[in-house]
Structure 1
Amino acid sequence: MSEHISIWGELSDVDHQLSHVEVAGVRTRVLRAGSGPDLFLLHGTGGHLEAYARDIAGLARDFRVTAYDMVGHGWSDLPDHPYTIDVLSDHLVGLLDALGVERAHLSGESLGGWVVAWTAAHHPDRVDRLVLNTPGNIANKPEVMAKVRDTTLAAVLDPSDANVRPRVEFLFHHKEMVTDELVNLRRAVYGRAGFEQAIRNTLVLQDPEVRRDFAWEPGWVGKVTAPTLLLWTEHDPTGGIDEAAMLLEWLPDAHLHVIKDAGHWPQWEKVDEFLHAHRDFLLSRWTGRG
């Protein structure tokens, strides 16, 4: 990854604004760049907007890009209540309102994919097109829930390099691409005052009893009318291509693109293909399944 110097290096030559936006009383950290159709990027469990640091410059050539820290994540506020999918979706819709955005393309990775799909199903008037980027554990497998819960909680309870680095490496097929900067950034988030309770409020989604009300299933997924790109990888540790096939059956208007030689974070490991997939899908005349 010789072309990658640092997160700041990725953003050094792109005009952008980093600010905090009030969303229903939640101080929300937001990064915006570019011009064109609105595109919102949502990170995964325990994550932060820097998950897209390697993509902002490329996407900003064609879109007005907004990446943000979801409620209870990154450097946004950490109110003490469960961050269930409806809560995270309401926060997204509230951010759209706060920024004066009527409709937008939504692209979410892992937990973010779950949130944008739920939003498209329950607020179809706010969504143009949808990208579900390795949305994770569509089949609600208990072993995957336990892995996410246990490794995340261990890293937050003791945000040492020894605990946080494996949690970040879990996201990558090529572990050597995990930089000290990325690990230390995650350590800083996990070390925030109040973050232990915040991550417990996020990890309620790995409890089968809580998850039942929001679990992926054809009833609500079938209400997603927005054209949808399923962006999968060959080595996603949270779910295989078989789970993408389930979504293809449930979604009324969807297409699958598989990125080779990548894990849970193709936006970091395979930047060019990630960018091309977004441009081709979001800027094309969509002709339906295929």
Structure 2
Amino acid sequence: MSVWGELATVEHRLFFVDVDGVRTRVLQAGDGPDLVLLHGTGGHLEAYSRNIAGLARYFRVTAYDMVGHGWSSLPDHPYTIDVLSAHLLGLLDVLGITRAHLSGESLGGWVTAWTAAHAPSRVDRIVLNTPGNIANKPEVMERLSAGTRAAVNDPSDATVRRRVEWLFHDKSMVTDELVQLRQAVYTRPGFVRAVENILVLQDPVTRARFSWDPSWVGRIEAPTLLLWTDHDPTGGLDEAKMLLGWLPDAELSVITGAGHWPQWEKPAEFLAEHQRFLR
């Protein structure tokens, strides 16, 4: 199981574009309706490497590194939800995408929902994949912040592996390659500062400005799939059902035997749900 081995048989393009001064890394594959994939906190587009070949049979798939993440630029300002959403919309403009399906995992799900609420004309259907800590639990914010900071400040194999394993129910699926990818990101020049700009969303005061709330979630017009798991470390099905009650047009699907990264642990189920809901 290798990141680039998963892409060996699919025609794809990896490139950089300028989005309002942010050098942004992008991968595209396939043809058809546009589907944009958004990774989670501290992540990068390889989070979807096990899904791109399957999705590209039905969609023009775009995966990218959000501002301050992966190998995109690391400007020195807080990467709040409105900033991440503006970067997404700018990317769509640069790529000539008028309207797209969005599928976001964890932080990417939060950005997806915010974008759907505030720029509905740009969004078709959305998938919120383990969007994470809907109830703003302090212990979840602290655990994510502490684990991420530890891995960035001490990017040893053991520390980074613990951070990646937190995403998984089946820890044996964490490969050396995944750990090494995170190490490469975490040791980029400037990333020690960038991680503080990423983790502002785990600060309760900053988070309060963007917290999941029916006042804005209820404005989402896009048909929505909540894609949850039975072992998500950021929030249980009680939070999924709460969010389901706020969304005007939504359904819930639960993938069993997976943690925070069902797209990696259960790629067949992840593909089947996207094919069913988006097509």
Instruction: Find 1:76's aligned residue among 69, 72, 78.
Output: 72
Quote how far apart the aligned CAs of 1:140 are: 0.3
Write the distance in 2 (CA, Å) between the matches of 1:46 and 1:8.
20
State how far apart, in whole Å, the 1-side matches of 2:41 and 2:35 are. 20
Q: Deviations over 1:186-218 (max 9, x none)?
A: 000000000011110010000000000000010
Of 174, 196, 204, which aligns to 1:178? 174
> TM-score, normalized by length of structure 1?
0.96
Cα distance between partner residues in 2 of 1:196 and 1:123 = 32
| Mapping for residues 96-135 of structure 1, pairs under 5 Å | 96-135=92-131
Using the TM superposition, give the Cα deviation of residue 38 of structure 1 relative to its aligned residue in structure 2, in angstroms: 0.1
Structure 1 segment 139-178 matched on structure 2, within 5 A: 139-178=135-174
In structure 2, distance between residues paired with 1:21 and 1:255: 35
Between the aligned partners of 2:92 and 2:143, the Cα distance in structure 1 is 33
DSSP-derived class of the 1:132 partner: strand
Q: 1:288 matched to which residue of 2?
A: none
User: Which of 35, 46, 49 is the matching residue for 1:39?
Assistant: 35
RMSD: 0.4
- Equivalent in the alignment of 1:286: none
Q: Any stretches of 5+ residues in structure 2 without a counterpart?
A: none
**Aligned equivalents of 1:162 and 1:12: distance in 2?**
29
| 1:92 corresponds to 2:64 | no
- Letter of the 1:133 partner, please give it: N
SS at match of 1:70: coil
Matched, 1:238 2:234: yes
- Aligned-pair CA distance for 1:57: 0.2
1:287 corresponds to which residue?
A: none
Measure the CA separation in 1 of the matches of 2:78 and 2:142.
Answer: 18
Identity %, equivalent residues: 74
What is the DSSP-based 3-state SS (H/G/I as helix, E as strand, rest coil) of the residue aligned with 2:5? helix
Tell me the secondary structure at the aligned position of residue 102 of structure 2. strand
Q: Map Cα deviations across residues 99-120 of structure 1 (whole Å, 9 max, x no partner).
A: 0000000000000000000000
Q: Which of 256, 274, 277 is equivalent to 2:270?
A: 274
Match of 2:134, SS?
Answer: coil
**C-alpha deviations, 1:70-98, integer Å up to 9, x for none?**
00000000000000000000000000000
Q: Alignment partner for residue 207 of structure 1, among 203, 209, 212?
A: 203
| Unaligned residue ranges in structure 1 (runs of 5+) | 284-290
| TM-fit CA distance, 1:8 | 1.1
Q: TM-score, normalised by structure 2?
A: 1.00
Residue type at the aligned position of 2:265: E
Matched residues in 1 for 2:216 and 2:227: separation? 20
Q: Kindly provide the CA deviation profile for residues 169-202 of structure 1, in whole angstroms up to 9, marking residues without a partner as x.
A: 0000000000000000000000000001111001
Q: Which amino acid aligns with 1:147?
A: R
